[in-house]
Every structure is written in C-alpha cells, then in structure tokens.
Chain A
Amino acid sequence: MNEIIESVKNLSIGFNSQKGKQISILRNVSTNIKKGETVGIVGESGSGKSTLALAMMGYIKQGLFPLKGECLFKSEDLLKMSSRQLEKIRGRKIAMIPQNAGQALTPNLKIGYQIDEALRLHTDLNKTERDKKISELLNKVRLPSPETMAFRYPHELSGGQQQRVAVAMALAGKPDLLLLDEPTTGLDVTTQAHVLELLRFIAKDTGTSMIYVSHDLGAIAQVSDRIVVMYAGEIVLEGPARKILKEPIHPYTYGLLKSIPKLSLAGLPASMPGSQPQPGSINEGCSFYDRCNLATDNCKKNSPDLEHIKELDTNVRCFNYKELINQNNNLQTSITKKSNNSEANEVLKLKDVSISYAKQKFFDQLLNKISDQNPTVKDINIDIKKGETIALVGESGSGKSTILKSIAGLLKTKDGQIKFENDRILSSDLKMRNPNDLRAIQLIFQNPDESLNPNHTVEQILSQPLKLYFNLSGEELKKNIIDLLKKVRLGEFYMSRYPRQLSGGEKQRVAVARAFAAKPDIILCDEVTSALDVSVQAAVLNLLQQLKEDLGTTYVFVSHDLAVVRAISDRVAVLYQGRLCEIGPSQNVYKFPSHPYTEVLLGAVLEPDPDIKPKLVAEDIVEEKPPEKGCSFQGRCPRKIGDICNSEVPPWQIGENGNAIRCHINIEELASLQQ
C-alpha cells in the first residue's frame, strides 16, 4: 500500500516571455503518489495545477518547457522519454479524464471507435473480445443501453454522458494511475454528484491511484485521501484530506476554506483581499505576502520552504503556521448580514408570466399572437419586496435566466404581466418602456469578459449610463466615475485601464459599478459569481451585500449554486423546466419539508467537508422539454405517487415556516418522508 508509483521531484516549468525573460509557472514542485491513493490537487485558476497534472503524464503544453526537476513514473523520468516510449505509458499505465469531455472527444469518430482505439492500443484482445469489452465498459460507467451507445457520435450525448464515456475510455487500458483534470466542472449540480459517485466507486473497485485536480474544494473533499494545495505555482500545503479541510495550517488554505459559502451556514463567507499574483511578478518573499494577515517583514524578504511537520503528517510553506494550529473552530463562522424589513412595499410583481422561445407562425405573427401550448417558462408568480434579495435557483434549462431577461425587457413575455412600483405594468417591449423605468432596472452579467466592451476604458464604460440617464459631462462626470470606483473599492487610476488589463474580480467590480451608476431600484444579477475564483467570489458577494445595505437596492439573483444563494439571498425560488417548484424565505427552503426537486438539489451539493456526503435521490436524466401536462418534475421525481403527477398540475401548499411548495403529496406527509 505504501509503494510510490509516481513521484515529482523539484519540478519547475516555465515559458519565455516576449521580452526574452524566463518565467516559471511551476516552481520547485515535489510530491509523491502512492499506490491505491487518491490525491486531490486544489488551486485557483493560474495556480499551475493543470500544468502539474499534465507533466505527470509527460505532457508539456506548447510554448512551455521544463526548467528543472523530473517526473518519475516507476523510477523512470517521463520528461526524458521519447514519444514512442510515452505512447506505451499513456493510456496504458497513466490515463487521463479531461475537463470538458464534450470537447475532448473527437467529433468525427463514434463513441465505440474511440474506446476501441484505446483497447487496440493497450490490450491484446481480438475484435469480438473488444466489442464485448466496450459494452462492459459502457455498462460500468452506467450509461444507458451500451449496445446502441457505441454507435453514437459525441455530440449526441449530454454533458454527463460524455464525461462517462471519457471515464470508460480511460479505464480501457486498465491504468495504474488515473489523472482527472476538473472532471465535473461545467456539469449540472446533480450530474456532478453522480459522476463523482461513479469515480469514487471506480477507485474502490479497481484500486487505481487517482490524481484529482480541481478548483472546487467541495469535489476534492468527496474523493481525496490526501490534498495538495497550490498557489502561484507552488505547493503551499500538503497532507491528509481531513487535516487539510478541518485544520488548515496555511493562511491561504484557511482563507480559501472560509471564503467558500456553505449550505450549513447562513450569512456571507469571509473574503480574502486581492488576487493571485501573475506568473513572473514575484521577485522575492512569500507569494501570498500581499493577501496574508499573518505576514511579517520576514515574509516580504524571504520565501518560506515547504516544511514537514511530523506530528501532523503535513507539509506547509509558511513561517507563521503555528498561529493557525487549533484555530479550526473559526472556520465555521460567517458574516451575518442585515436582514431586510419584511414590511416593505412590493417593488416588482410577476403575475402569471409565461415566456416562449417557439418561433411565431406566419398567421400568428399577423395577429401578433404566440401560439405555444407548452411554453419554456409558465405561470410564474413572484412578488418582490423593496430591499430584499430574491434568488432564482435551478439547473441549466430551468428558465431562470429567461425570466431575468423578461424583467429587463430583453425577451417578450407570452402571457402575464410584470408590474413595477404601485402596480404599474411594464411593457414587455424594451422600446416602449420609459427612460426612468429603464434606469430603475439594471443588469449584471455572468462573464465580465463579455459584458464589458473590450475597446472602451473603464472611464468610458462607466460614463455610458451617467451620460445617458443624468446627462453628466466634464468635471461632474469624472467626479461621479471616481465615486463609483470608490464604491466598488477600485482606485482612481483604474479609469484609464482597458478591461483586458484587469483581473477577473476587478472586471466584475467594474460591471457592478456600471449597474450602480444608474442609481437603480432593482439589479438583476445573472450568475454574477460563477465565472470567478472562490476567493474573489466571496469578495464580490460581500461587496454586493454592502452596497445593498448602503443604498437599499433590490436584487434578483440568479444562480445554480445553492450555497452561494444561501449566503446572499433573503428569499429563494426553486425552478424546474421553467415552472416554480418552491418559494420561501431562504432559511426555510433549506430546511425540510421541501419540494422533491429541492430535496434532490440539496442532496447533490458538495460541501468542503469529508463528513458530509451528497445524497443521490434521483437520476440525472436530461430533459429537453417541459412535460405537456402535470407536474414539471414528474420525469425525475423520486417521490412520484402515480398518474396524478402526470396529468394534473400540483397545487400550492404553504408550510408552517411560510415556504410554498407545489406538490401533490401532502406537506406533512412530505415532512415525515424527508426526516
């Protein structure tokens, strides 16, 4: 059990900058992988974790090259091997499960061929044996009807199925070591939990060693025996999973764990200041110096070595780690947020809103009517109070962003009304709304790379709403821009920068500032933190909360991440296939009884805690269209009671805590079932 299969020794990998300087993105990395062990490598984007993982297969991306060190697989250096030798090891001894299987499967080759290719290269089986093996493998990764699956093309499968095919392909060569590069990132919450469950089963079943690379400590916590934490190209902490997650003794890991929103915890996570340094920008001292609250003068000048602490079986790269020992209780705290005044007036009302993506037929177009009996979004009734944060939660295809677009006037509604302040109906056509209503509702988008014009400076970006709504110019305009930047904690000098010169978190702050420039009443937030790193996400969430408390803004917050929603929202609406399932105050929605779909979602959440395992209560089938009649969740419901679910739309029931659930099962019965 203690046999080492792969060991990385003092590995540095770098590239040559345009100015001819050598810049390293991996610095002096050493670690060992033991037989049968699962090692999680965790770090934010740009920490070098993927580069490390690929180097462990002897693969260096184009433009990069090893500076020093070695990757020993069974005491042979992979980095010195010829491509012939590597072909014998890759897929046979070490196999890879890629991040985005949808892009990692060759589009012109059938699933069966791609698995068969691995079998032909790495086993001695003949044709009939291989065919048998293919269905066996497809079965093992729990794909439906393996016989026909082999004849399909990658694009015909759903994301989760593609990922399973990638797993099957990796298992084909019976490798000793499996490398997983963010294998569940980009999948829906429930699918992610299922894939993870499968991987854990495979690790147990085959005894393969695994290296699991991810930015998501929740996923890492579920599978790893040991965890390696990377920061700015270095290992900063390494040790047994439980120790790392429960008693992190490196300030970065500690801060990272604190900045993750948790289901079990109401309130906002604490944030870390700043962001990870760019490769090549650290000249001396500790790479975490700028963001560390334990830092001393010593940290500024000298960089700490990775120190082994015997009694904890942990390696740590910090001078002051002792201050963090036995501090673990602090991990379970969060910043409480001011709750809103529940007596406040309603500022926005959605009444019987339906939205259809169906194309209008010619005659209906003439009559200006949309005929669609089964619209994408149907019967949405939500009243939003002034100053509250209401979250719309659901997986992809739940219609949450569609509703947001309709509120903004970007998508026409099919039926129903959107009422703003004192029951005034807002036109569903943007062009018909008056300028003041347009000002009152602002949007923040998911990806700031797309939502900021790359050809405008921050000054130009922020001046757009100020000029449009308030006709500002000259000195006054400039003063307002500086004020806005100050509000989102950015300095005046950002004015002349272009978006490409900003980090992800800074860009999103500019986007937030642009929304607030309009002095809006309501801000619609569309997955605003999902493109950001965890430590940056916490900072943006805190910023949004702070601004809201100061200015009394109302948020409609769309997200797929239940933990983030738990942290920021006052009320939650759960959506499935464009229909509301449950709505209520957030502390109650996260408690039972809940709608079976909420139950499924909550069960699938991955917490950064090895003791909280996900509960998989429903299949992760992908439904492309909402059902014609009956309950929207009938296809996947684990608590389905019979025909009534297929034929009749379930009634609303209100629980004693005030959350409304739309289900045929009596609410008390539901409560006892879910206990």
Chain B
Amino acid sequence: MENNLITEDKQKNKLEKAFEILKTMASKPSGLIGLTIVLFHVVLALTSPYIAPYDYKAISPNTMLLAPSAEHWFGTDSLGRDVFTRTILGGRTALTVTFFGSLIALLWGGLLGIFCGLVGGKIDDVVMRVVDAFLSIPWILAMLLIVSLLGTSTEVLIPALGFFYGKGIVRVARAATHDVIAKDFIVSARARGHSNMSIIWNEIIPNVRDAILVEGAMRWSWMLLGFSSLSFLGFGVSPPTPDWGLMISNARGLMSFAYWSVIAPIVGLSSLIIGINLTADAFAKALGIDRSTKAPV
C-alpha cells in the first residue's frame, strides 16, 4: 500500500516535470511557435482523411492545372487532382515513417552509445571506428541503394532510416556517458559495490537521458529532411500516395505556369521541418543543453 503510494507519487512527479518542461518551452515565442506548428501537423495528419474534400487519387482530364479557386482552394495538378486534398494528406507517411524511424534510431544509437561509453578501451575503439566508417558513406548513397534493391515499403524505410540516423546518436550518447562516468557519484556507487546494471539504470541513464532525447528530437527533423529528399528523388513514397516531396518533384517541371502545385507542398513540408526544429531547440534549452555546437552528422 505504502509502496503504491510512493510510485503514484513518482508518476505524478514525472507528469509534473513533463508539464514543467512544456511550460518552459512555450514561454519563449520561438518555442511556442514550434509547438503550435507541430501540434497542428499532428492533428492534421490524424484528421485529414475525414476532412479531405476530394479523392486524392481521382484523375480527371477536365480539371487539369486549374488555378486556385473556391472549388479547388490550392488549384489542381497536371492529372487534375485537387492540390488541397493532396497537401493535407501529404504529411501522413512522412510523419509516421520518420517518427518510428527516430524511435529506432534513439533506441539502438542510445544503447550502443552508452555501452561504448561504459566499456571504453579496445571494444569502444573498434565500435567507434566502424560507426565512423558508416558515417563516411554519404547517407543518401546508402539509402538509395537499399531502397532501390529492397523497395520503398515502410517496412524497409523505417529500419533503414532508423539505422542511418542512429549513428550520430551513438556519438552523443557515448560522449555523455563518458562525461558522467568520471563523476564522483558513479565512483561512489562503484565503491559501495552496486552491480553494473544498477549503476547503469540508476546513475547513468537518468543523467544521459536528456542529451539523448534532445539528439533524438533533432534527428527527427533531419530524418524528415532526408525522407522527403528521397521522395523527391523518386525513391520514397510510391505514387499515387500523396507525399510532399513527391508532389514537389512532379509539379516542378510545370511550375512556370502552375506554381500553385509546387507552393502548397513546399509550405507544408517547410513548416513541419521548421516546427520540429524550433521545438527541438526549445526542448534542448528547457533541459539546459546547448545544441548549437553540434555538427549535423
């Protein structure tokens, strides 16, 4: 009974802490804007299938390349599809794929990083060398190769993106673990004779968690950038599923006389990336971490 009370108390504390962090994030205009944008996109992604006015894949030769009007707010594209419908639906795949991709990246990157930081020595050297080697292959080349050989299904994209964007997290998690492990409270726990697992769980993870989470938030925005680049190049979402990167790529050739079909997805994608970025920035600041000194690798 008593124990129950304590855990409940702790949970409440955690909720309060999360709320506190949200409040700090929203206290600055940039953080508030970021949070609002991300929230807007998430709500849009959840509700868009129900509010979309047209069928996103309905091709109609009669309505090709119409300028924005009351009927078609953002006009139509070269196949006569409603651009508004396709724009509000266009973030769904990107958001889902990159969100789960980031989770995978966080998980394997964070765990491997903490492991390397802990064991140090030869094993650490070897692992970091291999991670470095993976880093030195441009992500786009590797991703393109994987996608072209294995296909563009989400089952391929999520783990592949997760793997390639997790490399950077390994470094951050390792560095954070290195910093923490030299601190006296770890020495103290070791001298007391706590088991390694207990030290990792109680002493190390709470102190590297923030840095890794911030890194994960950052990776999310970069992964979104990477994913839409893939779509743009024709290696991401396959048509006719609406996707911003793909829409921009398709409408690009015609933009000299149908600019609207490019502008709408550009605004959609840019606002989401900026929103996530501002949020990640505010998140880092609320946790007291300076992220501007980090390279985007």
Contacts and interface: CB of A to CB of B under 8 A. Distances in A.
Interface of A: 408-410, 430, 433, 435, 438-439, 441-443, 445-447, 450-456, 464-465, 468, 473-475, 514, 518
B213 to A, nearest CB: 13
Given A430-B190, A438-B191, A443-B191, A455 B206 contact: yes
Interface in B156-191: 183-185, 187-191
Contact of A438 (B183, B192, B198): B192
B138 interface: no
Given A450-B183, A454-B207, A474-B3, A445 B188 contact: yes
B144 to A, nearest CB: 42
A434 to B, nearest CB: 9
A455 B13 CA distance: 13
Given A464-B202, A474-B3, A453 B192 contact: no
Given A443-B188, A453-B207, A433 B2 contact: no
Contact of A475 (B2, B187, B188, B189): B2
Nearest to B193: A438
Interface residues of B, number: 18
Interface string B206-223: 110000000000000000
A488 B187 CA distance: 22
Interface in B59-96: none
9 contacts: A409-B191, A443-B187, A443-B191, A445-B187, A450-B183, A451-B183, A452-B185, A453-B206, A465-B192
A474 B2 contact: yes
A464 B198 CA distance: 10
Nearest to A436: B193
A518 B193 CA distance: 11
B193 A410 contact: no
A464 B189 contact: yes
A446 B188 CA distance: 12
Contacts of B202: 453, 456, 464
A468 B2 contact: no
Contacts of A518: 192
A464 B192 contact: yes
A632 B192 CA distance: 34
Contacts of B185: 450-453
B2 A430 contact: no
Contacts of A451: 183-185, 187-188
Interface of B: 2-3, 183-185, 187-194, 198, 202-203, 206-207
Nearest to B194: A468
Contact of B190 (A410, A454, A464, A474): A410
Contacts of A445: 184, 187-188
A447 B185 CA distance: 10
A408 B191 CA distance: 6
Across the A-B interface, give the 10 residue pairs with the lowest CB-CB distance, nearest first. A438-B193, A451-B184, A455-B206, A450-B184, A445-B184, A453-B185, A408-B191, A474-B2, A450-B183, A443-B191
B184 A430 contact: no
Nearest to B9: A496
A447 B203 CA distance: 17
Given A453-B207, A474-B2, A474-B3, A442 B192 contact: yes
A464 B206 CA distance: 15
Nearest to B180: A453
A580 B206 CA distance: 42
Contacts of A408: 191
B191 A453 contact: no
Contacts of A441: 191
Nearest to B189: A464
A430 B189 CA distance: 12
Given A455-B206, A464-B189, 15 more contacts: A435-B193, A438-B193, A441-B191, A442-B191, A443-B188, A445-B187, A446-B184, A451-B184, A453-B185, A453-B202, A453-B207, A455-B207, A456-B206, A473-B3, A518-B192
A278 to B, nearest CB: 20
B268 to A, nearest CB: 37
Contact of A453 (B2, B3, B193, B203): B203
A430 B191 contact: yes
Contacts of B206: 453, 455-456
A514 B188 CA distance: 10
B184 A410 contact: no
